[in-house]
Structure 1
């Protein structure tokens, strides 16, 4: 970011931060665009700064999407163990059922942040199209689309229906249509980058080069295409991802990893449930599975013995936007659900036999390949390996639905709508029973 006018960038970011605080605390959604002045929306520098702000809002602090979806997902899928019942929102999620209601601030934070990111990303995308430098515009559109698609995915993953905007009495659509809207946005961004290659003038203005833009767009398309049952496009998109390239949310000692800051370092909110990563008997990881001790510590002298490791082990640990193993498992599942079982087993075995040194993030089971296996068991093993390979990624609840896991393995299926939405939107749907 040294090539952006620093004073201008900080001013815009501060305005965004202050507006976000006001937006999160108030129940009035009127005119959320007040945060973004005309200068910010019309200049390349301003649009770049806003785009960077979207990514930071998604990935930093306890109010971020990352902290909130890892927390919500982890408790209701039994990945996490509550450490302090004084943390009321986390206590509700840990208890589950009807205890989780519209007052839950973890869910309200995820809801509000996701909707605000989508709204501001749409402004960036719309205004970037007016820029004369089409290569720079392509970078802005693609980069903002990543935050937008992730946020749309978060809403669609945890709520039965999602709003189509911000404001009073906004209508809702089915969550599967939410995923499809995310895919549509990704396809649009990929079309822009195919027509006008992302310019170095945009890339050098990013504060960190840890996000691989094109790989990330394809990885998210593969993820959401799988979720909506579009298996052919899931395969095409997953195959387009270069598994030798990383794409991560970066942190430093000033802007630290939010899971580390609020959970790992304090031991006061949550830790992994157990050495079996919260899986039920019959799906336990094998004792020799090297992924387990990648994600957890199991020898702490001070209770609890099982603690967070993996991608939240230090304040500067980087969190992947996606893992290579996720792409392999997407292909395995897509093949299995279209009755191409031999190909599915090949992709699954790539994950099972992968050694830590063969993975760019060091995630590897290093186990013998599966050989003789029924088609039904193949899907079970894909689910099992998703739970292990993608531990604490926030993706497990969607997996549990897709693989028809028993209700007694989860503490909730979908979340209630936050009161911040219900109090202002007469179209807010009824809360799910479970």
Structure 2
């Protein structure tokens, strides 16, 4: 998003990006835009959805990072006066449905899927040709799947229908729905996207590769291991797909990490237990975390990586995630030879060979050739490679790490309470999870 200035036009709030000549409808506007048969406005709404997802302290990038990072020990809280973050850090019964971070991730994800669904529904309006309609749907299906799949990393169930008092469905059904959306988008992409659409949407997100990346991620979460491997193999690891920022719309994590008033890196452990600590020679450690003086008793650890400057891009997915998805899927299929091969592709990867300059540069795996030992090593590398991507809580549960009611707990909650706003407006909201 380049050089964004707010203007009012067409009776609705819009934004104009002068450097790349893109405009988007502000999805926070309560005014009803003219969308039926209006391809330019449908494109603008897609851009507004991306803006909602990737910016501000209330957006998904910030909220998912802090829900996961404070829960699993990736982050420390600098100022307990930040009450919502402090509740997430304390976990357990200290957090309830009134927490602002829960409210923000829920509200913005639900609005993301609502706006995306609006585009999907109206794409086939009169006056929109089939190629353009399918291209509009491809982008919108991606964002709807992203919203649904992300929410079930933090909540046990969510409603899929956009109606009053919608019923909640469990994680299995939500993931199936997200995968179906992505498969539909994949079909439209394979048929070729309309230049009218691709020239109008923000170009920093590579749609084809990002759809395959989400298919790999959500199939792994769903236990569809062969499908996860197939999707991960389809991702071009040399291509960057990123959320892009500028001075007017800054990187929301860098902005708040720089403030030194909310959160920072907890330490150099990445939230891992003593028996799974990163290798001290792992070059991903200084990529993500630094300190002015490592020799003092309690160094002031600071986050770097993709969060140094307000203008830094944030990856939609990392190449290493695709390699680790394949490693885990092979390991869970008990194909240990291929699991180690993919694991070694991460361990031996150097900064020069990674699209984002992220490399461990370590020796190949030399541990036991057992499923559990290999899975432990994969888990350790996911926690380091995917630091602050919001994946840590989902990973901790999936790998069966000690939960909040167990000895040596590695997370302070399994799932989060539903926001009060949802409960107040939807009589079908389930009881909150106990842990």
TM-score (normalised: structure 2): 0.91
1:286 corresponds to 2:287: no
Determine if contact 1:16/1:35 at 8 Å carries over to the other structure.
Answer: no
Q: How many residues align?
A: 414
Determine if contact 1:12/1:40 at 8 Å carries over to the other structure.
Answer: no
Determine if contact 1:353/1:366 at 8 Å carries over to the other structure.
Answer: yes
Determine if contact 2:155/2:417 at 8 Å carries over to the other structure.
Answer: yes
1:162 is paired with a residue of what secondary structure? strand
2:76 is paired with a residue of what secondary structure? strand
Looking at structure 1, the residues matched to 172 and 366 of structure 2 have their Cα atoms a distance apart, in angstroms, of 35
Structure 1: unaligned runs, 5 residues or longer? 22-33
Instruction: Tell me the CA shift for residue 167 of structure 1.
Output: 4.3
Instruction: Tell me the CA shift for residue 194 of structure 1.
Output: 2.1
In the alignment, what sits opposite 2:305?
310
Q: 76, 80, 83: which is aligned to 1:88?
A: 83
Determine if contact 1:12/1:50 at 8 Å carries over to the other structure.
Answer: no
Report the RMSD for the aligned CA atoms in angstroms.
2.0
In the alignment, what sits opposite 2:142?
146
Instruction: Tell me the CA shift for residue 233 of structure 1.
Output: 0.8
1:334 corresponds to 2:342: no
1:258 corresponds to 2:258: no
In the alignment, what sits opposite 1:29?
none
Runs of 4+ displaced beyond 6 Å? none
Tell me: CA distance 1:41–1:87, structure 2 relative to 1, closer, same or farther (3 Å). Answer: farther
In the alignment, what sits opposite 1:245?
239
1:13 is paired with a residue of what secondary structure? strand
In the alignment, what sits opposite 1:184?
180
Q: Which moved more, 1:157-166 or 1:237-246?
A: 157-166
Listed one character per residue, the Cα deviations across residues 374-416 of structure 1 (whole Å, up to 9, x for unaligned) are 2210000010000000000001111111100011110111000
1:177 is paired with a residue of what secondary structure? helix
Looking at structure 2, the residues matched to 184 and 260 of structure 1 have their Cα atoms a distance apart, in angstroms, of 34
Looking at structure 2, the residues matched to 191 and 111 of structure 1 have their Cα atoms a distance apart, in angstroms, of 29
Tell me: CA distance 1:35–1:218, structure 2 relative to 1, closer, same or farther (3 Å). Answer: farther
2:226 is paired with a residue of what secondary structure? helix
Looking at structure 2, the residues matched to 100 and 167 of structure 1 have their Cα atoms a distance apart, in angstroms, of 28
TM-score (normalised: structure 1): 0.91
Looking at structure 2, the residues matched to 80 and 179 of structure 1 have their Cα atoms a distance apart, in angstroms, of 28
In the alignment, what sits opposite 1:212?
206
Looking at structure 1, the residues matched to 209 and 144 of structure 2 have their Cα atoms a distance apart, in angstroms, of 16
Looking at structure 1, the residues matched to 184 and 399 of structure 2 have their Cα atoms a distance apart, in angstroms, of 30
2:169 is paired with a residue of what secondary structure? strand
1:385 corresponds to 2:381: yes
Instruction: Tell me the CA shift for residue 36 of structure 1.
Output: 3.6
Determine if contact 2:165/2:426 at 8 Å carries over to the other structure.
Answer: yes
Looking at structure 1, the residues matched to 268 and 93 of structure 2 have their Cα atoms a distance apart, in angstroms, of 28
Q: How does 1:387-426 map to 2 (within 5 A)?
A: 387-407=383-403, 408-426=409-427
Instruction: Tell me the CA shift for residue 326 of structure 1.
Output: 0.3
Determine if contact 2:39/2:128 at 8 Å carries over to the other structure.
Answer: no
Instruction: Tell me the CA shift for residue 260 of structure 1.
Output: 1.1
Looking at structure 1, the residues matched to 31 and 386 of structure 2 have their Cα atoms a distance apart, in angstroms, of 36
Looking at structure 2, the residues matched to 149 and 304 of structure 1 have their Cα atoms a distance apart, in angstroms, of 40
Instruction: Tell me the CA shift for residue 165 of structure 1.
Output: 3.1
In the alignment, what sits opposite 1:59?
54
Looking at structure 1, the residues matched to 293 and 428 of structure 2 have their Cα atoms a distance apart, in angstroms, of 50
